[in-house]
């Protein structure tokens, strides 16, 4: 824990497979339960805007329980997507009985406890005794202290996630350009010109997908693979679809755009890493 920021790393062997930043004193709100009041029903948007207390509000889609609600109605909602990209949180109808005024009912578990729930047989190594004390009610018996929980090699890899580029196999590079509507992943294969383009692109797919998870890129993701004709790009879809199966958010591969980009839709849940690091 550094300056109120908890770094959470999931390792499989020596490989970093997931990474999260968590601010216990300013959590992202995913999983929080609120009493909310319906302030407007927006048929054109297929949902409702919900007041959550103070100036805080969120959006409840019809598909998540917002259908047939009326303005002024009090309901219980859970936060399914954190506020990010300048937009408020996304909500779903919850079963808890609502209170008489909008406000927080219960906090969500946070990313560390969520990860521990996904991997119930794994030990949790922490380098902060105060944090261990705070987490004891949820993680008693599973935590172990190690002052060097994040070693120098892992430290360097975490630091590299701040950069808009990532190294791939055979000298290729991945350039990452996030925008409000989508994130573009561009492959620079100039240093890997000794390899056949199709073989190179297939070889780098697992690392591209790992970087998507590590950086928590979400929403629309476009991958511009390097140096391939249209017919060859189709051959990348099966290995890309297979690599995406390891993603905890179960993204959808939509196919290839007319420009030849591989199109992926990945659920927005927590803010992407670049928003937290640059926030």
Q: What is the pLDDT of residue 11?
A: 95
The structural domains of the chain, with segments of one domain joined by +, span 6-27+109-153, 33-106, 161-277
The whole-chain average pLDDT of the chain stands at 94
Residue pair 240/205 in contact (Cβ under 8 Å)? The answer is yes
Portion of the chain with pLDDT greater than 70, in percent:
99
Q: What is the pLDDT of residue 192?
A: 74
pLDDT at 271 over 80: yes
Q: Could you give the dihedral angle defined by the CA atoms of residues 265, 172, 154 and 26, in that order, rounded to the nearest 10 degrees? A: -30
pLDDT at 81 over 90: yes
pLDDT-based confidence at 198, cuts 50/70/90?
very high
Give the mean pLDDT of 191-204.
89
List, as one string, the DSSP characters of 201-222.
HHHHHHHHHHHHHHTT--EEEE
pLDDT at 105 over 80: yes
Give the mean pLDDT of 73-91.
95
Non-local (6+) Cβ contacts of 22 within 8 A are 5, 6, 8, 110, 111, 112
In CATH, 33-106 is 2.40.50.140: yes
pLDDT-based confidence at 279, cuts 50/70/90?
low
pLDDT at 181 over 80: yes
The tens digit of pLDDT for each residue in 24-74 reads 998 999 999 999 999 999 999 999 999 999 999 999 999 999 999 999 999
Q: What is the pLDDT of residue 249?
A: 97
Give the mean pLDDT of 257-266.
96
Q: What is the pLDDT of residue 1?
A: 64
Residue pair 31/22 in contact (Cβ under 8 Å)? The answer is no
Q: What is the pLDDT of residue 203?
A: 96
Q: What is the pLDDT of residue 191?
A: 80
């Amino acid at each position: 824990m550094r300056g109120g920021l908890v770094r959470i790393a999931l390792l499989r062997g020596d490989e970093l497979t997931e990474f999260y930043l968590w601010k216990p004193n300013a959590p992202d709100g995913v999983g929080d339960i609120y009493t909310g009041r319906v302030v407007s029903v927006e048929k054109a948007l297929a949902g409702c805007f919900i007041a959550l207390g103070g100036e805080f509000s969120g959006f409840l889609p019809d598909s998540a329980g917002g259908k047939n609600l009326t303005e002024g109605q009090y309901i219980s909602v859970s936060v399914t997507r954190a506020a990010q990209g300048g937009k408020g949180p996304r909500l779903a109808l919850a079963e808890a009985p609502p209170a008489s005024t909008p406000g927080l009912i219960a906090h969500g578990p946070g990313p560390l406890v969520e990860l521990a729930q996904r991997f119930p047989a794994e030990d949790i190594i922490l380098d902060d005794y105060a944090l261990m004390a705070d987490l004891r009610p949820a993680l008693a018996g599973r935590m172990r202290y190690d002052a060097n929980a994040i070693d120098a090699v892992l430290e360097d890899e975490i630091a590299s996630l701040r950069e808009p580029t990532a190294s791939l196999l055979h000298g290729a590079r991945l350039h990452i350009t996030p925008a409000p509507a989508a994130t573009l992943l561009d492959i620079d294969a100039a240093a890997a010109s000794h390899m056949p383009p199709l073989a190179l692109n297939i070889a780098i797919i697992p690392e591209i997908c790992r970087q998507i998870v590590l950086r928590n890129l979400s929403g629309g993701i476009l991958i511009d693979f390097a140096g391939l004709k249209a017919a060859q790009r189709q051959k990348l879809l099966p290995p890309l679809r297979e690599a995406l199966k390891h993603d905890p958010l179960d993204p959808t591969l939509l196919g290839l755009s007319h420009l030849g980009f591989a199109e992926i839709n990945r659920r927005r849940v927590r803010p992407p890493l670049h928003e937290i690091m640059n926030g």
